Chain A
């Protein structure tokens, strides 16, 4: 089990390095979005700072659907995922490996998006922001991997993914934005721990649920 997990994650990273997922274009897309947002807000630096958290998370949402779709589409093509299952890979292990590699990818993308955020929106960097990002990204990957697994197997799947996934992620968006906002403006009453706990609950609930549902989502014969 564990050895399969490691092998699969290694495989994913080799694929990322060989650019089956166009990481660079995803990052560029995110940077472009942040730039567009600041244009559309009229360049008022106070207004930008106030809305930075919300716009940043929306950017993360958009970019993540991009590569979630790409990374699972690749597995869906040419029967690759079926090949793995026939080799004896447990669909649950497959789910964990995909979630994990998508999570690391998302963190990497966010890392590059932090620079334009700090520069364009005049946001002070804080380490607690990273905690929020990590917890939020895990939730997005846990749920997004499961949903992308379903939508990429359908004909009109790429439209469907955001349609199904975004409403599910609303609690995560609220918690992520509020917690990030508190990191930016300062958190006098330690309110952000409330949002941390919400993020933690979200992450655990959906990781466990999707883990248990993985055979139904990824294995057609289950």
Chain B
């Protein structure tokens, strides 16, 4: 299926959780936040959140500086 990830359309396998998606991208989950269709998906919900065709996924780095 196709999703939009950080502004680019990409092909991903069906039945893919957000957690698995982040893992496949080899991202360090402790350093990032994720939103789907402009809604933040809390980190504890990633394993049970399954991506669907046409979804827009934004993953961005958390920042802590000041």
A, B from the same assembly: no
Using CB atoms and an 8 Å cutoff, list the residues of chain A in contact with chain B: none
Using CB atoms and an 8 Å cutoff, list the residues of chain B in contact with chain A: none
